[in-house]
């Protein structure tokens, strides 16, 4: 199968993720869309790795996963504390850097 | 002997320093200190005079070099003095008349609580004036020149609580500054032309020609005209004459010393001293004579219309200095007579002013002559001394003014050609008007009915003779007014004394000296008669009549002040006010405007930072998209 | 290694500033005396510098040189020429008077607050400014100079913004707003100038490879460092702009009247007599030495701006209603003379300009400090609020008059010598500009005499009737200044002797010769 198709898929996933980030208000959904974008990138890396025949892309994909995992930990913590203080998970409600 | 020159200046300078810094402790003795030091200066002057007389005419020059004043690469100014016959004449006049007026002031200022300071200023004036005439270079002369200006400023404004006095003082200083600008430019021109501004190298001596000889006439004319501007300022010549009348706000001894006998004649000194420059610039000389002739008529006309005795005398001073300037502009024909008239004028005009002061002293400081009348009975000494001064100034044969003024009129004719006739005619006309206005002053003050009335507080003046300390100087000056001319004029003594410095030339008299003398006496008689018919035969009205257009203009100093007020004062006020506005709105406005527009821009930019995470995300994606697009475009190209 | 005299002269007031600032709140009198003693000790050091300096010796003397930031060729290099010596002496001389004149200017209004220490801050800031100004005069490394040229803005900012006239302090909200406007304006103007200069300093490093004034000037002189004409001009403009803001030259002057008007009189003296001198000094030292060709290129424009400054400043001074702003505009006029003298490129002009810097410092200090004493008595800066002071306080009026006469350059007082030299030096090369500048002396007489007449003469106004005359402390401030004005007017040789060789050097830097007198030239 032509590896370029994977790239198209990656672009599609990225676009979906980006649109989600832009149009959704719920912090959890936004967060999941960010994850989607990260994974789209991962897919692209792996596809490129295959196309160019070296392993750099795959190594980077692992890095991304680790970073994404760390991000989940921190991000979720922030969302939870935001929800506690404001009783809402809407990103638009958190427009000020104070309560 | 040379070392005495510095002492000559140091004595009054010390007096000024002691009196002005001494504080109230010296109030009791201050006036004696001041007078003693002025007298000391006169004694030094006399000693030097005797010393000079002992030398032969060609070598009567003493110099003293104190120290290097401004030593800068390519520029050298020294504190050094130069005493020759010309400066000696001035030294004796200044210290002599100066000492007498110090003495007079002891009585005149007796009731003034600031008398000590008055004497300090007088001493300061003496020091500056002596510096002016003793300096051996133009820059040091400039120091004295502005020094006398300062002293004059302080003394005119001595009664500072009167706004009119403070304004008059300021005006005098400012008008003089315009003249000083001329002197300053003249010195700069000398520096760029000759590389020096010391008298001896620039002007030369009778043995060696100075640097003036090798210079173009155009440059010399420029220098000479700038010197003339300076002289106009200091000597109250048209067009810078307007300050002298107002300067009469000062105490009368000041008017006598500074604004009659000495300071105002500094311009004549400057021109005569710079004779070598003027001789080589005939165009400038012509301007000098014109200025002199115009001023002598101007001053005389103004003098006719004033009812204030001091202002009438001030107009007369202006006019008499006009004679001197006219003579100085004639070149070697007139230099000697300019100085001779200067000295005799110093005697009789100082005497007249002191007389006027004595009258005011007895009349509760009333200056309006229409409120005098018949004072000869009450103040006999003042009457006699004033009368002698009066006879001297109108040129009564045998008195000092006769000798000096007659010579100037002769010299004016001797200039030759049409110019000679015009100048001589002006001088004769001036003599007639002089006789007229001085007779008017004399008649209104000392003759006729008494016209004084109680002032608004009900105090009627009780005219009385002044104390001895005031009458003695008046008597001495009256002697000078009577005899100085004879001493100088008979046998041409004064001519022989000054000739080595100024040179002398007989010119081309178109008519004989006897004719001129006869004409002078004749116009004098006409002037006296006219005044007698108007003021002696008829009673003088206490309230001034409206008078003709000319009279009214002359009362207002021929409208020159009005011109100044409209053009300079008003114009200047508008200019500064609009500049203040421009500075605030335009110059500052540009900067504030820049600040405001930066502020406005950031106000708008601030709205982008709204805190919504999603709008930040849009700009991030937008930016990323732009970057990608740009990269692709670059690839494609 | 010999004793680092120059470093000591700058470090002493710096240390003094720190110690003064650390004095406990209750001991504010001790802080004042400490500051005064430190400034006097600095004066002693400055006099030592003057004595040790040999006018006929090397161009830069008492030099010190240490590596500092080796990677960028920045060195800690100090050295003084005659011009710097004269200005260091002036600075060290004026600071004790400024401290003494401002003795009560920063006393706390309420004594309740135990931790509030404005007095300590005021005197510490003054000493800090002194240290920075002195080191700017000493630095022969462009970068070192730049740092202190900029750093002195910080203490000045606090001095202007933090301490106003006693009469207004704390009572008038509007006055506080005006003051902070003035301080911010001062800071912004000078920062913009400084930033442009920073760009030029970096540019200079790129072109020359180091920051040493002496090395660069030498390389420029012997041709081993060639700058493209345009590069040189841009760099020159960058430096000149900063100095012209500081000096200040028309049309960059508008910060000065605000700053001098709002600051207390001693701080106003600090601004105009001390800090601003760094600007004109730097024109002589950096602009002319580093960029001789560009300096000559820019001369006509600068002369015209200087001429405008002279006339414009004087005219605006005539139109002022506020005593301190009047003095500020007079200073703008005088700075015009200084810049005129520097760029006339004649020995007389530059000697005159240097002398002018010294004399202007003394004369403005005399006039402004007496004006400050006057203002502190009546609590108003407006000329119209005074009248007849001469009658009630003759000594105050007399010293005010002498300060004024010095400002109008009366012959016999120090400023006359310098002003005349500047005029002669300008006239020798540019007669028309010289003549127009001469009008400045008439205008100077006008604004000084009008000020004197309106405040000191006339009938005594009821508000000033009970005004006390100068106190002993105030006399101690004014009397020495008056004596100096007279002394330097009659005998300026001690200063000209120090300055003259340095001026000769500068003249040879720009390869200009004095115009010859016409008579000599004809031979």
Residues of B in contact with A37 (CB under 8 A): none
One-character DSSP codes across B19-80: HHHS-GGGTTTHHHHHHHHHHHHHHHHHHHHHHHHTS-GGG--EEEEEEEEEEETTEEEEEE
Cβ atoms of residues C444 and C337 within 8 Å: no
Task: For the full predicted model, state whether its pTM sits above 0.90.
Answer: no
| Rounded mean pLDDT, B120-132 | 93
Peptide bond between residue A30 and the one before it cis (omega within 30 degrees of 0): no
- Which chains share 3+ C-beta pairs under 8 angstroms with B? A, C
The rounded distance, in Å, linking the Cα atoms of C6 and B624 is 57
Choose among C254, C449, C453: nearest Cβ to B591: C254
Residues of B in contact with C431 (CB under 8 A): 192
- pLDDT number for residue C523: 56
Tokens of A63: 């890095």
One-character DSSP codes across B571-583: HHHHHHHHHHHHI
Residues of A in contact with B614 (CB under 8 A): 21-23, 25, 30, 91-92
Tokens of B494: 């004064």
Q: Look at B547-556, C8-17, C65-74, C360-369 and tell me which has the smallest mean pLDDT.
A: B547-556
Q: Is the model's pLDDT at B279 over the cut of 50? A: yes
Burial of C436 (0-12, 13-18, 19+ CB in 10 A): middle
Cβ atoms of residues A58 and A49 within 8 Å: yes
Name the residue in chain C with its Cα closest to that of B117.
Answer: C394
Number of B to C CB contacts under 8 A, please give it.
Answer: 166
- Which chains share 3+ C-beta pairs under 8 angstroms with A? B
Tokens of B203: 């002007």
With cut-offs at 50, 70 and 90, classify the pLDDT of residue C210: confident
Taken as a whole, chain B contains a residue count of 637
- Quick check: B580 and C351 CB within 8 A? no
Burial of B200 (0-12, 13-18, 19+ CB in 10 A): middle
Q: Is the model's pLDDT at A83 over the cut of 70? A: yes
The rounded distance, in Å, linking the Cα atoms of B38 and B102 is 8
Choose among C449, C457, C490: nearest Cβ to B174: C449
With cut-offs at 50, 70 and 90, classify the pLDDT of residue C169: very low
Residues of C in contact with B142 (CB under 8 A): 411
Residues of B in contact with A30 (CB under 8 A): 613-614
Task: Using DSSP, state whether C62 is helix, strand or coil.
Answer: strand
- pLDDT number for residue B111: 84
- Quick check: B160 and C496 CB within 8 A? no
Cβ atoms of residues B61 and B82 within 8 Å: yes
Number of A to B CB contacts under 8 A, please give it.
Answer: 25
- Quick check: B185 and C435 CB within 8 A? yes
Q: What is the pLDDT of residues C133-156, one digit of tens each?
A: 999 999 989 999 999 999 999 999
Task: Using DSSP, state whether B408 is helix, strand or coil.
Answer: helix
Peptide bond between residue B326 and the one before it cis (omega within 30 degrees of 0): no
| Rounded mean pLDDT, C251-258 | 88
Beta bridge partners, B64, equal B81
Residues of B in contact with A97 (CB under 8 A): 611
Interface of B with C in 215-274 (CB under 8 A): 215, 219
The rounded distance, in Å, linking the Cα atoms of C371 and B457 is 40
Q: DSSP state, C113?
A: -
Domain A4-86 class?
A: mainly alpha
Closest CA to C484 of C90, C83, C57: C90
Q: Look at B467-476, B503-512, C496-505 and tell me which has the smallest mean pLDDT.
A: B503-512
Three-state helix/strand/coil letters over B188-219: HHHHHHHCCCEHHHHHECCCCECHHHHCCHHH
- Quick check: B611 and A97 CB within 8 A? yes
CA B305, B306, B310: angle at the middle one, nearest 5? 150
Q: Look at B270-284, C206-220, C334-348, C385-399 and tell me which has the smallest mean pLDDT.
A: C206-220
Choose among B75, B177, B583: nearest Cβ to C424: B75
Q: Is the model's pLDDT at C171 over the cut of 60? A: no
Q: Is the model's pLDDT at A88 over the cut of 70? A: yes
| C-alpha pair distances (Å), B298 with each of B5, B146, B236, B316, C249 | 38, 26, 11, 9, 45
- pLDDT number for residue B152: 92
Name the residue in chain A with its Cα closest to that of B610.
Answer: A95
- Quick check: A18 and B621 CB within 8 A? yes
Q: Is the model's pLDDT at B563 over the cut of 80? A: no
- How far B591 CA sits from the closest chain A CA (Å)? 35
- pLDDT number for residue C168: 46
Residue with tokens 């005031």: B470
Q: Is the model's pLDDT at B459 over the cut of 50? A: yes
- pLDDT number for residue C170: 47
Residue with tokens 């009054």: B12
Closest CA to B359 of B329, B382, B327: B382
Task: Using DSSP, state whether C136 is helix, strand or coil.
Answer: helix
Tokens of C106: 């920063």
- Quick check: B195 and C435 CB within 8 A? no
Top pLDDT among B567 and C315 is at C315
Interface of B with A in 566-625 (CB under 8 A): 610-614, 617-618, 621
- Quick check: B614 and A97 CB within 8 A? no
Name the residue in chain C with its Cα closest to that of B190.
Answer: C517
Listed in sequence order, the DSSP H helices in C77-169 are 82-101, 118-138, 142-151, 153-162
Q: What is the pLDDT of residues C413-454, one digit of tens each?
A: 999 999 999 999 999 999 999 999 999 888 999 999 999 998
- How far B634 CA sits from the closest chain A CA (Å)? 22
| C-alpha pair distances (Å), B272 with each of B133, B219, B266, B326 | 11, 19, 10, 11
Name the residue in chain B with its Cα closest to that of A95.
Answer: B611
Cβ atoms of residues C404 and C367 within 8 Å: yes
Percent of chain B with pLDDT over 90: 36
Closest CA to B411 of B428, B398, B396: B428
Q: Is the model's pLDDT at C186 over the cut of 50? A: yes
User: Per DSSP, which regions of C447-487 are E strands?
Assistant: none
Residues of B in contact with A25 (CB under 8 A): 614
Residues of B in contact with C496 (CB under 8 A): 70-72
């Amino acid at each position: 199968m032509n590896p370029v198709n994977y790239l198209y898929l990656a672009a599609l996933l990225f676009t979906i993720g980006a649109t989600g980030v832009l149009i959704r208000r719920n912090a959890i959904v936004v967060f999941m869309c960010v994850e989607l974008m990260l994974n789209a990138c991962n897919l692209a890396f792996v596809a490129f790795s295959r196309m160019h025949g070296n392993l750099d892309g795959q190594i980077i994909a692992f890095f991304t996963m680790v970073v994404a995992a760390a991000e989940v930990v921190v991000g979720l913590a922030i969302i939870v504390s935001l929800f506690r203080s404001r009783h809402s998970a809407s990103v638009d409600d958190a427009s000020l850097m104070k309560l | 002997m040379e070392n005495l020159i510095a002492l000559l200046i140091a004595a009054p300078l010390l007096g000024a320093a002691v009196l002005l810094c001494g504080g109230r402790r010296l109030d009791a003795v201050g006036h004696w200190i001041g007078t003693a030091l002025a007298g000391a200066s006169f004694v030094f002057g006399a000693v030097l005079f005797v010393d000079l007389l002992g030398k032969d005419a060609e070598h009567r020059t003493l110099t003293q070099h104190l120290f290097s004043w401004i030593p800068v690469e390519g520029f050298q100014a020294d504190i050094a003095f130069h005493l020759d016959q010309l400066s000696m004449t001035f030294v004796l006049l200044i210290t002599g008349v100066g000492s007498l007026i110090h003495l007079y002031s002891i009585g005149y200022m007796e009731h003034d609580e600031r008398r000590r300071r008055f004497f300090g200023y007088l001493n300061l004036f003496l020091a500056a004036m002596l510096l002016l005439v003793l300096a051996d270079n133009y820059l040091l002369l400039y120091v004295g020149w502005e020094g006398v200006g300062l002293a004059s400023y302080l003394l005119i404004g001595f009664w500072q609580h009167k706004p009119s006095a403070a304004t008059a003082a300021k005006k005098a200083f400012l008008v003089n500054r315009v003249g000083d600008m001329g002197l300053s430019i003249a010195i700069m021109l000398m520096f760029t032309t000759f590389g020096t501004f010391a008298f001896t190298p620039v002007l030369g001596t009778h043995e060696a020609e100075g640097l003036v000889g090798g210079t173009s006439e155009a440059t010399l004319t420029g220098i000479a005209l700038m010197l003339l501007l300076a002289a106009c300022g200091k000597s109250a010549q048209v067009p810078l004459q307007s300050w002298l009348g107002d300067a009469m706000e000062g105490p009368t001894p000041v008017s006598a010393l500074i604004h009659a006998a000495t300071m105002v004649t500094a311009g004549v000194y400057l021109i005569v001293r710079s004779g070598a420059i003027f001789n080589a610039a005939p165009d400038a000389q012509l301007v000098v004579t014109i200025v002199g002739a115009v001023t002598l008529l101007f001053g005389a006309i103004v003098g006719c219309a004033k009812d204030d005795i001091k202002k009438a005398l001030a107009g007369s001073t202006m006019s008499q200095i006009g004679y001197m300037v006219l003579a100085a502009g004639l070149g070697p024909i007139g230099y000697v007579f300019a100085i001779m008239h200067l000295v005799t004028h110093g005697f009789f005009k100082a005497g007249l002013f002191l007389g006027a002061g004595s009258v005011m002293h007895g009349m509760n400081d009333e200056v309006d002559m229409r409120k005098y009348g018949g004072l000869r009975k009450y103040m006999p000494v003042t009457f006699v001394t004033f009368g002698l001064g009066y006879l001297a100034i109108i040129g009564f044969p045998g008195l000092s003014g006769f000798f000096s003024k007659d010579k100037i009129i002769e010299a004016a004719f001797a200039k030759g050609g049409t110019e000679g006739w015009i100048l001589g005619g002006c001088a004769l006309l001036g003599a007639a008007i002089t006789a007229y206005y001085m007779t008017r002053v004399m008649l209104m003050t000392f003759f006729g009915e008494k016209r004084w009335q109680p002032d608004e507080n009900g105090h009627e003046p009780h005219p009385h003779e002044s104390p001895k300390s005031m009458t003695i100087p008046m008597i001495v000056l009256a002697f000078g007014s009577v005899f100085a001319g004879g001493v100088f004029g008979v046998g041409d003594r004064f001519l022989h004394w000054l000739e080595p410095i100024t040179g002398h030339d007989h010119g081309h008299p178109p008519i004989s000296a006897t004719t001129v003398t006869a004409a002078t006496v004749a116009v004098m008689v006409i002037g006296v008669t006219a005044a007698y018919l108007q003021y002696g035969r008829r009673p003088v009205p206490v309230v001034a009549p409206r008078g003709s257009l000319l009279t009214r203009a002359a009362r207002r100093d021929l409208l020159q002040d009005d011109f100044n007020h409209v053009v300079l004062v008003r114009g200047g006020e508008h200019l500064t006010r609009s500049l203040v506005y421009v500075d605030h709105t335009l110059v500052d406005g540009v900067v504030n405007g820049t600040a405001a527009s930066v502020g406005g821009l950031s106000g708008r930019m601030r709205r982008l930072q709204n805190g919504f995470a999603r709008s930040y995300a849009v700009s991030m994606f937008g930016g990323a998209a732009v970057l990608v697009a740009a990269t692709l475009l670059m690839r494609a190209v | 290694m010999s004793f680092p005299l120059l470093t000591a002269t700058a470090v002493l007031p710096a240390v003094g500033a720190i110690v003064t600032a650390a004095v406990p709140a209750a001991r504010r009198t001790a802080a004042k005396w400490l500051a005064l003693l430190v400034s006097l000790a600095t004066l002693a050091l400055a006099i030592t510098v003057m004595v040790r300096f040999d006018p006929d010796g090397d161009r830069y003397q008492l030099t010190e040189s240490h590596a500092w930031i080796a990677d960028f060729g920045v060195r800690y290099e100090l050295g003084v020429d005659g011009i710097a010596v004269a200005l260091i002496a002036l600075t060290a001389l004026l600071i004790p008077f400024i401290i003494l004149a401002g003795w009560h200017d920063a006393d706390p209004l309420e004594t309740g607050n135990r931790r509030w220490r404005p007095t300590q801050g005021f005197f510490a800031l003054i000493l800090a400014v002194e240290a920075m100004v002195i080191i700017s005069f000493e630095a022969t490394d462009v970068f070192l100079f730049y740092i202190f040229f900029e750093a002195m803005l910080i203490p000045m900012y606090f001095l202007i913004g933090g301490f106003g006239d006693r009469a207004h302090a704390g009572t008038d909200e509007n006055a506080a707003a005006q003051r902070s406007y003035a301080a911010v304006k001062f800071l912004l103007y000078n920062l913009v100038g400084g930033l442009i200069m920073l760009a030029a300093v970096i540019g200079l490093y790129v072109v020359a490879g180091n920051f040493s004034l002496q090395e660069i000037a030498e390389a420029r002189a012997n041709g081993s460092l060639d700058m493209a004409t345009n590069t040189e001009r841009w760099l020159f403009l960058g430096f000149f702009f900063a100095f012209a803001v500081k000096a200040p030259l028309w049309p960059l002057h508008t910060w000065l009247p605000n700053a001098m008007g709002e600051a207390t009189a001693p701080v106003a003296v600090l601004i105009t007599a001390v800090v601003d001198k760094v600007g004109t000094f730097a024109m002589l030292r950096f602009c002319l030495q580093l960029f001789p060709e560009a300096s000559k290129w820019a001369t006509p424009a600068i002369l015209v701006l200087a001429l405008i400054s002279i006339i414009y400043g004087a005219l605006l001074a005539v139109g002022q209603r506020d005593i301190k702003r009047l003095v500020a505009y007079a200073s703008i006029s005088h700075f015009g003379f200084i810049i005129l003298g520097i760029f006339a490129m004649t020995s007389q002009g530059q000697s005159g300009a240097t002398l002018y810097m010294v004399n202007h410092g003394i004369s403005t200090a005399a006039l402004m400090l007496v004006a400050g004493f006057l203002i502190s008595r009546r609590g108003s800066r407006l000329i119209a609020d005074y009248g007849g002071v001469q009658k009630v306080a003759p000594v105050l009026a007399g010293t005010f008059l002498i300060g004024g006469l010095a400002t109008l350059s009366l012959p016999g007082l120090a400023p006359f010598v310098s002003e005349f030299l500047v005029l002669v030096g300008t006239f020798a090369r540019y007669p028309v500009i010289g003549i127009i500048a001469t009008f400045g002396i008439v205008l100077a007489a006008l604004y000084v005499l009008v000020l004197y007449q309106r405040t000191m003469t006339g009938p005594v106004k009821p508000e000033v009737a009970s005004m006390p005359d100068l106190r002993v402390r105030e006399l101690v401030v004014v009397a020495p200044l008056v004596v100096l004005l007279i002394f330097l007017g009659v005998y300026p040789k001690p200063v000209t002797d120090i300055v003259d060789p340095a001026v000769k050097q500068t003249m040879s830097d720009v390869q200009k010769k004095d115009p010859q007198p016409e008579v000599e030239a004809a031979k």
